[in-house]
A and B are shown apart, each in its own frame.
Chain A
Amino acid sequence: MAKFILKRVFYMFLTLFIVATATFFLMKAMPGSPYANEAKMTLTQRHIMDEQYGLNKPVIVQYLIYLGSMFKGDFGTSFQYANQSVSSLIFPRLAVSMQLGLQAMVLGVVVGVLLGAIAAIKQGTWADSGATVLAIIGRSVPNFVLAVILQYYIGLKLGWFPIAGWGSFSQTVLPTIALAVAPMAETERFVRTSMVDNMNQDYVELGRAKGFSRMEVVRKHVMRNSMIPIVTLLGPYTVALMTGSMVIENIFNIPGIGEQFVKSILTNDYPTIMGVTMVYSIGLVVVLLITDIIYGLIDPRIRLQGNEG
């Protein structure tokens, strides 16, 4: 197990290094400058500004400096927000996106598991069809469409929850629901398939032969065995949700990271682009690592493969 984890951690750092390098050079290839009003600046101003931002050094030197300061957790100063450090821009916004993402994840998974289990146990009944239809709708309606509908009917017309904004818990309800629908549908399908699969296994027969009721077998064994695959699903989903959805954030006026990232790309705010990309990547590889480790702990078969391959 230790060897397996070490190997994983090494790969993780390698991945991050490649991401950092690729992002840096791709960004340098982008046209345009970070200055808003370049045509009106004197050459002297340009030189001084370039020097302040370290843009006058050879690209390779910039790259090394950038890697070095990133190790210290310093992402530099933003271009679009004068004199503001990228960290001070990213982290408050990231916290918001993470809270929203986690809420959506929890809601989506809980409801998804419930629906999936009902669908599996009541196979072929109206409950099964109902859950499946819900899942299909959840998969096919884009979350921003749902967001607009929720905002208009529940926020404006009925006034149950605030239309938009961030600060109180009630303001998080509508965006959470809008974001939760996709993982809910995904989990529902996953759990249903996995449970139906498990219910046809021999051990169910055995349990029934031992005199347990069907429900008892399902509760004690089938459910537990069916939950394993969900672990795989949770990792990437959590990251995807926590990194913020630009559209949802814009619709509900949420000060999250999603929209900021897009804006930094549009304004050539190099340090912010790099900062957000790296934070995203770190989040993703760490979650994947944790998923792998949990998986290895739950399911011995995987650990064996990990040692071999």
Chain B
Amino acid sequence: MRPKKLIASIGILCMAAIGVSACSSSNSSTSSKKQEITWMDAAEIPTMDISKATDNTSFNQLNNVMEGLYRLGKDEKIENALATKTQVSQNGKKWVFTLRKSKWSDGSPLTAKDFVYSWRRTVNPATGSQYAYLFEGIKNATAITAGKKPVSSLGVKADGKYKLVVTLDKQIPYFKLLMGFPLFFPQQEKMVKSAGSKYGTASKYLAYNGPFVQSGWSGSNLSWKLKKNKNYWDKKAVKLNTINYSVQKTTSTAYNMYQSNLLDATALDSEQSKHLKENPGYTVRNSASTFYLQYNQAKLKALRNVKLRRAISMAIDRQSLTKILGGGNTAANSLTAKNLAKVDGVDFSSTISDNGYDSYNPTKAKKLFKQALKELGVKNISLTILSDDTDSAKKTTETLQSQLESTLSGLNIKTQNVPFKTRLSRSTAGDFDIVVSAWGADFADPISFDDLFTSNNANNNGKWKNKEYDRLIEASKNTINQKQRWQDLRQAENLLLDQQGVSPLYYQGQAWLVRPTIKGIIYNSAGAKYNFKNAYVEKN
């Protein structure tokens, strides 16, 4: 087989003209001897500045090139990283961490001061950290971010070089989980100062202290490398020498590259996931995100009717919806995502009582809908469902429209698909009837979800208000008794779903192909997802 003469000759002409030799792709395929893998992300890195990161891509990078007090292991298990010892006071409000001796990537020592500096920088309102809210509960953090107290009053101080003392306003049950989240990692003041406004905008403008150091990222380019960090305190445990990262925006391209060994992992779209289910590398990654419907109860009287909300929820066939969406999405019957948090070895979301309102039941839905129409004194109801304009969002609204209209006669559904930012701003402004919203947990605790629907939460766009619910969430935050806390959260979520304050639709999951010879990758659904510290290529 020869290429078309024309193409060949033009190719040769151009090469002669530009003076380059045709070499094959610069990507080298993975060889098991080299302990090198090629990985992908779906988007460019927006920033490597710990205080400014807001997205998965950034957090995944930071989790592998930086390190905090703890590192999250398998199943969100908290493992000591820079902390060698943790002492907590009786009331849970004072934490003393003893740090190990460790170095920054430039060889300079890393001390407790670097933590103090990093945390203060993040809560400082002038930094503009959009994740500073996670510091809530650490002494004075909220007041500092609101500009009411000086940055120096934050409840964190260095006691000598290797002791970090943290004071809380109230105990935070998930505090250890937070400490494993990149937002709470140290930052090197020297680098922040010398890089100035360029800090975190390219590989060279960052000081690293994690298992890997990053190189070759210039700010918005599509490929870079993570290389083993020579100055990492636990470098013996790190087996990979190099992780070649590239940005892949087209799933068919990524899959082609996977097939020719240019990529060791590829995210699949819904069509591909249906075909490749049997492939040995097929893996579903849950993202600790739940998609749910919010009903605008401030704007529409009809949606304040609990029977109508229940009828709508029961007219939705979530199984067929997730089939249409494909990928790794699964039908949801709780707000808290599946496999997010284990309580005494049992997944929290599975302990939410099944009230029947979140499963498909057309007979009951019809009955409830009739009653609701009667109570409202109307013959029919028209509602618009608002959502994003992505493929899956369009599929979702179309499916909901046809399911609802075919089950509930007298209900007219219109759909509106707008860009993500527009959907957010309209949700916040209360400019919708029903909106498809999504939430991904920042850390592996149900409060990340259940907090959303207290009366005054900024994310409670439907303005569902329930005093008992508010009381339970508040109680869960102030009890020292763990058992009681789970009880409160469970009761709250049961109440929310009984009243259908929101209607869960599905838990998000992404289907992937991952080269089966790569072992030891730790993936957690919440917070920073990927941890490559112990990953390696199996020798054949």
Contact = CB atoms under 8 A, between A and B. Distances in A.
A93 B220 contact: yes
Contact of B253 (A52, A167, A253, A266): A253
A42 interface: yes
B250 A40 contact: no
B11 interface: yes
Main secondary structure of the interface of B (DSSP, over half): loop
B376 interface: no
Nearest to B198: A83
A31 B426 contact: yes
B46 A253 contact: no
Interface in B245-297: 246-250, 252-253, 256-257, 259-260, 262
B24 interface: yes
B321 to A, nearest CB: 25
A44 B146 contact: yes
Given A39-B428, A103-B14, A107-B10, A48 B128 contact: yes
B201 to A, nearest CB: 5
Nearest to A259: B249
A48 B256 contact: no
A162 B23 CA distance: 9
A56 interface: no
A266 B421 contact: yes
A35 B198 contact: no
B49 A83 contact: yes
B26 interface: yes
Contacts of A160: 3
A160 B422 CA distance: 44
Contacts of B24: 162, 168, 170
Contacts of B25: 162-163, 165, 168, 170-171
Contacts of B459: 39
A159 B262 CA distance: 12
Interface residues of A, number: 62
B263 to A, nearest CB: 10
B6 A111 contact: yes
Contacts of B373: none
Contacts of B248: 253
B223 to A, nearest CB: 8
Contacts of B3: 160
B145 A45 contact: yes
A36 B54 contact: yes
B27 A165 contact: yes
B220 A36 contact: no
A177 interface: yes
Contact of B201 (A82, A148, A156, A250): A82
Contacts of B252: 148, 151-152, 251
A44 B145 contact: yes
Interface string B136-155: 00000010011110000000
Contacts of A41: 130, 132-133
Given A36-B55, A252-B253, A253-B248, A42 B145 contact: yes
Contacts of A250: 249-250, 253
A33 B128 CA distance: 14
B222 to A, nearest CB: 5
Nearest to B11: A173
A40 B262 CA distance: 40
A84 B130 contact: no
Interface string A167-205: 111110100010000000000000000000000000000
A275 to B, nearest CB: 13
Nearest to A170: B22
Interface in B1-32: 1, 3, 6-7, 10-11, 14-15, 18, 20, 22-27
Contact of B26 (A30, A84, A168): A168
B6 to A, nearest CB: 7
A35 B130 contact: yes
Given A36-B130, A82-B200, A163 B257 contact: yes
A52 B222 CA distance: 28
Nearest to A251: B250
B313 interface: no
A45, A163, A166, A252, most chain B CB atoms within 10 A: A45
B486 interface: no
A166 B252 CA distance: 17
B125 interface: yes
A255 B259 contact: no
Interface string B41-54: 00010110100101
A43 interface: yes
Interface string B207-224: 000000000001111110
18 contacts: A32-B421, A42-B146, A45-B125, A45-B129, A82-B49, A83-B199, A83-B200, A88-B219, A151-B253, A152-B252, A165-B25, A168-B23, A173-B7, A173-B11, A251-B253, A252-B253, A259-B249, A266-B419
Given A30-B422, A83-B47, 13 more contacts: A31-B426, A39-B458, A83-B197, A84-B201, A92-B221, A93-B220, A110-B10, A162-B25, A163-B257, A169-B15, A252-B253, A253-B253, A266-B419
Interface of B: 1, 3, 6-7, 10-11, 14-15, 18, 20, 22-27, 44, 46-47, 49, 52, 54-55, 125-126, 128-133, 142, 145-148, 197-201, 218-223, 246-250, 252-253, 256-257, 259-260, 262, 419-422, 424-426, 428, 458-459
Interface of A: 30-33, 35-45, 48-49, 52, 80-84, 88-89, 92-93, 103, 107, 110-111, 148, 151-152, 155-156, 158-160, 162-171, 173, 177, 250-253, 255, 259-260, 265-268
